[in-house]
Amino acid sequence: MATEGGINMKGTSVKKAELILRHQLNMIWAMPENAGVVPPLMIWGPPGIGKSTFIRNLCEELDIGFIDIRLAQREPVDIRGLPVPRDDGEGIDWIISSEWPRAGQEGVPEKGIILFDELTAADSTLQVAAYEFILDRRLGQLYKVPDGWYIVAAGNRSSDGAVARTMSSALANRFCHLELRADSKSWLDWALVNNIDHRVTGFIRYMPQRIFSMKGNKERGWPSPRSWERVAMELKMAQINDLDSDLLNIIVEGLIGEAAAIEFIGYLQWSEKIPDVSKMLTGEIKAEVPTRPDQRYAMVSAIVHNLRQSEHPENLLDGLFDILLKFPNDWIQLVHHDLTLAMDSDGNDEFLIAFFDHPRHQELEGKILL
């Protein structure tokens, strides 16, 4: 990645953005009295790369509150509150929305994130309504954001072909800005943890540049982390419903565009010609590894998939080591990474213990740096 004076010039990966967000949360939780000093994050990036998804997932992992405000779909009164004349006729009071968290209120988490999504798509009146909330963490004298809650905003750039309006310099200067980029490595790790269809992960390993591209018709399907997740879902459902392959191909093209779909479908066709991984794992057929890179990536993903599907994968270790030791060293390291990450995320400690304790595991250690 290009850098200048140690500065990232091509954007931040989702994984690094998550680490920065964790850091910001730890700062306000360690010193709640300084919550107003910690700058909110502004996450910039093209559509479909998971800006809001990684924030939501982190909140679920940490078991904290999450409020997702799609600003472009709101009215200023939703943010600022409803003005109501006072009974004494001496002015007005504001009725603040009940969706904002209140400190000490029953059922309201003490910690959480308020996400103002689509901030750059909101018109100027909505952005102005959000200023006070974001900049001062309050709404007039009636509402103050609890100290344990952190504010994040997200939006697209005008260069992404999405609706994007200029942010005022006063608002922009209060944020810590992160430019998010599509990153195949971070996405693949996420996909393994979440058991995304192995055919999709295998293809992205083979062609990581296809994780994201807006070069085609932006008004039709194009490849992005979001659309690849949907392709994986369609593949799974097509298998369950025995959908005709021609119809599935049309759906795939509708999700990721013609160019990426042609490459992906070609990959699927070649991957079907690899030796039967399930039979190699059980020892029914001899272990062998194809020479074509696309078929090797398909085999790596198929190995992990088959072991995850097995009720007792520890019984397949002999077959697994037969296959692994047929691979070149760098490929062994790839399988080792994917397999341990997948099984760890599944909580399959029994398999991991048996895998690392297996006598032939030392042979792997002699081939790769673990």
Indicate the SS3 state at residue 70: strand
pLDDT greater at residue 15 or residue 306: 306
Locate 103 and state its tokens.
């400190």
Alpha-carbon Rg of the chain, whole angstroms? Answer: 25
Please work out, in degrees rounded to the nearest 5, the angle formed at the alpha carbon of residue 144 by the alpha carbons of 143 and 149.
135
191-207 pLDDT per residue, tens? 999 999 999 999 999 99
Locate 294 and state its tokens.
């696309």
Q: Give CA–CA dist 248/239, Å, rounded.
A: 10
User: 3-179: CATH homologous superfamily?
Assistant: P-loop containing nucleotide triphosphate hydrolases (3.40.50.300)
Q: Is the pLDDT of residue 3 over 50?
A: no
220-249 pLDDT per residue, tens? 888 999 999 999 999 999 999 999 999 999
Following CA atoms 123, 124, 129, 133 in sequence, which dihedral angle do they give, to the nearest 10 degrees? 90
80-117 pLDDT per residue, tens? 777 777 777 777 777 777 888 998 888 889 999 999 98
Q: Give CA–CA dist 193/343, Å, rounded.
A: 9
Contact 116, 157 (CB under 8 A): no
pLDDT for 75 equals 80
* Residues of the chain above pLDDT 90, percent: 61
| Helix ranges, 167-208 (H) | 169-172, 184-193, 198-206
Q: Is the pLDDT of residue 14 over 50?
A: yes
Put the strands of the sheet holding 176-179 in their side by side order: 65-70, 112-117, 149-155, 41-44, 176-179
pLDDT for 295 equals 96
Cα 312 to Cα 220, 306, 309, 354: the distances in Å are: 44, 11, 9, 11
Q: Tell me phi and psi for residue 213, to 5 degrees.
A: -160, 130
Per the prediction, the chain carries an average pLDDT of: 88
Q: Is the pLDDT of residue 257 over 50?
A: yes
Q: Are strands 7-8 and 3-4 parallel, antiparallel or unpaired?
A: antiparallel
pLDDT greater at residue 142 or residue 2: 142
Average pLDDT for 127-132: 79
Locate 293 and state its tokens.
């890179």
Angle between helices 317-324 and 329-346 (to 10 degrees): 150
pLDDT for 1 equals 38
**What residues have CB less than 8 Å from 134, skipping those under 6 apart?**
40, 116, 151, 153, 171, 174
pLDDT for 158 equals 64
| Helix ranges, 182-316 (H) | 184-193, 198-206, 225-241, 245-256, 258-271, 277-282, 293-309
Locate 223 and state its tokens.
């490849």
**What residues have CB less than 8 Å from 300, skipping those under 6 apart?**
202, 205, 331, 334, 335, 338
Sign of CA dihedral 129, 130, 134, 138: positive
Q: Give CA–CA dist 1/13, Å, rounded.
A: 11
Which one, of 129, 141, 214, 136, lies nearest residue 168 by Cα?
A: 129
Contact 188, 232 (CB under 8 A): no
pLDDT for 4 equals 35
Per-domain residue ranges of the chain: 3-179, 184-365
